[in-house]
Amino acid sequence: MTRLRNGWVLPASIVMALFLGLLPLPEVVQPLRPYWLALVIAYWVIEEPDKVGLGVAFVAGVAADLLYGGLLGEQALRLVILTFILQRFRARLRFFPMSQQALAIGGLLLNDRIVSAAVHLALGEPTLPWSYWWAPLLGMALWPLLFVLLDALRLGKRSKKK
């Protein structure tokens, strides 16, 4: 197994995902905003399960709740559920081809929308419009790029010995 070479990448990627969620977008593309934090947490749960687990997912979710001003604990719950499912199937998912991994991540992001809708319904809060259900597809499409980027940052440059 490879060790985490660049220790700054994990916290920096989570902070960057939080900030990407704060970026203002035009109303037309707002429903397509991928759930960056879930994608980044998913990467770290798959690649560094000893460092990122339910605790990190919960803390990141509470931080997102505080930053985004939503229901306190909603994103924490959503991320903990996502992390739990990923931990359960990590051994298989890690060795899937990238296309199948992206499909699995898309399914997890769709499950995340269902959990969000259920929480809003249970609390009598307004639910998101149907256009927001397209975001898991964009997250699924972005997964291979995000995976390769974070992998390159995590592992650093490999020097060739002659």
3-state secondary structure of 77: helix
pLDDT confidence tier of residue 35, bands split at 50, 70 and 90: very high
Q: What is the mean pLDDT of residues 2-24?
A: 84
Q: What is the mean pLDDT of residues 105-134?
A: 91
Question: With b meaning 16 or more CB within 10 Å and e meaning fewer, what string describes 37-74?
Answer: bbbbbbbbbbbbeeebbeebbbebbbbbbeeeeeeeeb
Question: What is the overall mean pLDDT for the chain?
Answer: 89
First CA to last CA distance, the chain? 23
Is the predicted pLDDT of residue 2 greater than 70, yes or no?
no
Instruction: Evaluate whether 6 touches 153 at the Cβ level (below 8 Å).
Output: yes
Sort residue 4 into left (φ over 0), alpha (ψ -120 to 50) or beta.
beta
Q: 51-96 pLDDT, tens per residue? A: 999 999 999 999 999 999 888 999 999 999 999 999 999 999 989 9
Give the percent of the chain with pLDDT over 90.
Answer: 69
